Structure 1
Amino acid sequence: MNLLNTLLNRHPDRVKAKVEIYTWQTCPFCMRAKLLLWWKGVNYTEYKIDGDETARAKMAERANGHRTVPQIFINQEHIGGCDDLYRLDSQQALDPLLATANT
């Protein structure tokens, strides 16, 4: 772990999960969700769907009909949006999810 990660209490070495997030570039909730993922040391796959109705339809299909952004998936499991991600973190349930490898 490098010094910056140590100082920031980030642990990218502990993240084993596959994380995907659907975003719009100027969405403040998307930025907030990505900030928490960054803070946790997560290397995530981002799908920027600004104005792309086909991509938005695919996201909604995966997210049980939810069409708002962000929509977040950890190991193919739909987590929800930004508030859901922060709720998991406040309940100390996010780190165990992130530490689980995608099977």
Structure 2
Amino acid sequence: MYASAVCPYCVRAEGLLKRKGVTTIDKIRIDLDPERRDEMMQLTGRRTVPQIFIGDYHVGGCDDLFELDRSGRLDALLQGEPD
């Protein structure tokens, strides 16, 4: 997950993932390493954080993650099933 320290959406997304049982979240802090923001933009085409990946699947941002959960697809992704 690409994130920054002052992002409330990053905190919300991380909270949902933890409630779903995710114990390890690889956070890439773009506020500490601006080159990683460029990397994030190349990968996602987006400038805002969080940008969340589950495996190689780009979920998107916080709203996208919560929508996946509402639709029932987040659990399957977290289990390693393709979207």
**TM-score, normalised by the number of residues in structure 2:** 0.90
1:38 counterpart residue number? 18
Aligned sequence identity (%): 47
1:7 counterpart residue number? none
Measure the CA separation in 1 of the matches of 2:50 and 2:78. 18
Which has the higher relative contact order, 1 or 2, with Cα contacts under 8 A spaced 6 or more apart?
1
Q: CA-atom RMSD, angstroms?
A: 1.2
Post-superposition CA distance 1:42-86 (Å, at most 9, x none): 1221111115321100011111x1010000011111110000000
Q: Mind listing any 5+ residue stretches in structure 2 that lack a counterpart?
A: none
Measure the CA separation in 1 of the matches of 2:37 and 2:46. 10
1:69 counterpart residue number? 49
Measure the CA separation in 2 of the matches of 1:86 and 1:75. 17
- Find the residue that maps to 2:35 and give its secondary structure: helix
Measure the CA separation in 1 of the matches of 2:57 and 2:74. 13
Q: Mind listing any 5+ residue stretches in structure 1 that lack a counterpart?
A: 1-20
**TM-score, normalised by the number of residues in structure 1:** 0.73
Structure with bigger gyration radius:
1
Measure the CA separation in 2 of the matches of 1:23 and 1:70. 5
1:59 counterpart residue number? 40
Q: 2:4 aligns with which of 21, 24, 27?
A: 24
Q: 1:89 aligns with which of 46, 49, 69?
A: 69
